[in-house]
């Protein structure tokens, strides 16, 4: 019988990276490993007219060389177009589909890594939350928590209490996106505090741009964009995104505060484009299919700043790129290798019952 390890947490970044690194560690020890994501979100990059696909499932299928269909690796793929899409199907049918697919995935494997929802309580309304799934599978829990400041301790304690209510008394904690300046505090104060409260400290992921910053190539694929200039810089990292919707007189002030950024604006906002180019900008993303005016194009060529166009509007573009922070794509083998190395070294699972 396979042992189930649920990776959970109230975070949109990091769970798949931990799954990749954990799978690599387990396989190095000689174990057979599968991946299962009970419910996910439709990816417009990987989905087809015949099948809705969750991106994390597609990545893990490729990495682990799984033969099962994506529709089984992630059996419930939500469109997010209707609040009641799962209610209409019904709890009984959804649960039966999940357990049937899990049975196929778990055959002849030593471990199944189960990736949870964005937060443990998501889908409580249909009995498919990570809390419910963990109890159903009798799984061990690794909880990933964004630790940008000390208030994250309250999030950890809340999740511990929630899992205890569902029968899981001990959980492993991985701190995510930790500023390097907090290293001493984490080691001397936070770790002992967590252990005193019955949790198992399993590692720290410090903020690392190699892990969390997408490349221009990844941004282009997510936006289904087109490079106007700069196609030779597809591996350049972007640390943050700024929507250039402010008044021109305020633009420089905001742009100067951010380095290695991408600025999202319309191609006809030449004032915003030129202001961005005079600061530390790695990419201009022009929205709504409006290309750059000649002044923008000339200055960008002089400075060597790539320009990308997308048919999406500014709001839609910002929504897509926000989801790229901390993601891994199938075709970025270098990033997958970096995740296995960096996250793998950060995980300390000796005290965790695997």
Average pLDDT across the chain, whole number: 91
Give the per-residue pLDDT at 11: 72
Cβ contact 295:272 at 8 Å: no
- Checking 88-93 for CB contacts under 8 A at 24+ apart, the result is 90/126, 91/126, 91/127, 91/128
Give the per-residue pLDDT at 80: 63
For the segment 327-341, what is each residue's pLDDT rounded down to a tens digit? 787 777 888 899 999
Q: Phi and psi for 324 in degrees, rounded to 5? A: -85, -20
Beta bridge partner(s), residue 215: 237
pTM for the full model? 0.83
Pick the residue with more confidence: 13 or 305? 305
Residue among 142, 164, 165, 155 at smallest CA distance from 190: 155
d(CA 40, CA 216): 25
User: Is the pLDDT assigned to residue 17 strictly greater than 70?
Assistant: yes
**In Å, how far are 95, 167, 277 from 143, measured between CA atoms?**
23, 15, 41
For the segment 189-236, what is each residue's pLDDT rounded down to a tens digit? 999 999 999 999 999 999 888 888 999 998 998 899 999 999 999 999
User: Is the pLDDT assigned to residue 1 strictly greater than 90?
Assistant: no
Q: In the structure, what pLDDT confidence band is assigned to residue 45 with cuts at 50, 70 and 90?
A: low
Vertex 196 angle, CA 193 and 197, to 5°: 90
The span from the first CA to the last CA of the chain, in angstroms, equals 14
User: Is the pLDDT assigned to residue 127 strictly greater than 90?
Assistant: yes
- Cβ-Cβ contacts under 8 Å for 122 (sequence gap 6 or more): 129, 130
The mean pLDDT value for 75-102 works out to 87
Give the per-residue pLDDT at 278: 93
User: Is the pLDDT assigned to residue 147 strictly greater than 80?
Assistant: yes
Q: In the structure, what pLDDT confidence band is assigned to residue 44 with cuts at 50, 70 and 90?
A: low
User: Is the pLDDT assigned to residue 105 strictly greater than 90?
Assistant: yes
Helix orientation angle between 216-223 and 314-322, rounded to the nearest 10 degrees = 130
Rg of the chain's alpha carbons, rounded to an integer? Answer: 22
d(CA 200, CA 192): 10
Give the per-residue pLDDT at 46: 59
The mean pLDDT value for 259-280 works out to 95
Give the per-residue pLDDT at 306: 98
- Cβ-Cβ contacts under 8 Å for 353 (sequence gap 6 or more): 140
The mean pLDDT value for 159-177 works out to 93
Question: Strand 140-146 relative to strand 33-36: parallel, antiparallel, unpaired?
Answer: unpaired
The mean pLDDT value for 62-88 works out to 88
The mean pLDDT value for 28-55 works out to 83
Number of C-beta neighbours around residue 289 at 10 A: 13
Q: In the structure, what pLDDT confidence band is assigned to residue 81 with cuts at 50, 70 and 90?
A: low
Q: 34-48, 186-200, 266-280: which has the minimum mean pLDDT?
A: 34-48
**In Å, how far are 20, 52, 59, 219, 305 from 257, measured between CA atoms?**
34, 40, 34, 22, 18
What share of the chain in percent tops pLDDT 90? 71
The mean pLDDT value for 249-273 works out to 92
Give the per-residue pLDDT at 97: 96
Domains in the chain with CATH codes: 3-211+332-346 (3.40.50.300), 214-322 (3.40.1390.20)
d(CA 71, CA 61): 11
């Amino acid at each position: 019988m396979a042992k189930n390890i649920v990776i959970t947490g109230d975070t949109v970044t990091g769970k798949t990276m931990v799954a990749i690194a954990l799978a690599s560690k387990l396989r190095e020890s000689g174990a057979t490993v599968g991946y299962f994501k009970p419910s996910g979100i439709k990816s417009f990059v990987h989905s087809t007219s015949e099948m809705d696909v969750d991106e994390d499932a597609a990545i893990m299928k490729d990495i682990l060389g799984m033969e099962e269909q994506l529709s089984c690796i992630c059996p419930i793929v939500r469109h997010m177009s209707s609040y009641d899409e799962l209610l209409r199907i019904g709890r009984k049918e959804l649960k039966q589909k999940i357990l049937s697919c899990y049975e196929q995935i778990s055959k002849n494997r030593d471990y199944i890594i189960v990736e949870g929802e964005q937060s443990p309580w998501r889908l409580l309304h249909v009995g498919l939350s990570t809390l419910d799934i963990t109890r159903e599978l009798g799984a061990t829990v690794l909880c990933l928590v964004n630790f940008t400041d000390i208030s994250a301790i309250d999030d950890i304690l809340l999740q511990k209490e929630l899992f205890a209510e569902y029968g899981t008394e001990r959980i492993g904690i991985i701190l995510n996106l930790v500023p390097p300046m907090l290293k001493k505090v984490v080691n001397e104060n936070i770790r002992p505090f967590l252990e005193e409260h019955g949790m198992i400290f399993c590692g720290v992921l410090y903020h690392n741009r190699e892990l969390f910053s997408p490349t221009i190539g990844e941004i282009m694929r997510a936006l289904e964009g087109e490079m106007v200039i700069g196609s030779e810089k597809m591996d350049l990292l972007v640390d943050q995104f700024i929507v250039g919707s402010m008044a021109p007189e305020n633009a420089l002030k905001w742009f100067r505060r951010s380095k290695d950024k991408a600025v999202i604006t319309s191609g006809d906002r030449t004032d915003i484009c030129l202001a961005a180019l005079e600061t530390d900008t790695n990419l201009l993303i022009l929205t709504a299919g409006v290309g750059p005016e000649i002044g923008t194009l000339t200055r960008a060529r002089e400075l060597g700043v790539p320009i990308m166009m997308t048919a999406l509007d500014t709001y839609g573009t910002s929504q897509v790129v926000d989801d790229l922070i901390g993601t891994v794509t199938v075709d970025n083998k270098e990033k997958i290798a970096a995740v296995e190395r960096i996250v793998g070294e950060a995980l300390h699972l000796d005290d965790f019952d695997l």
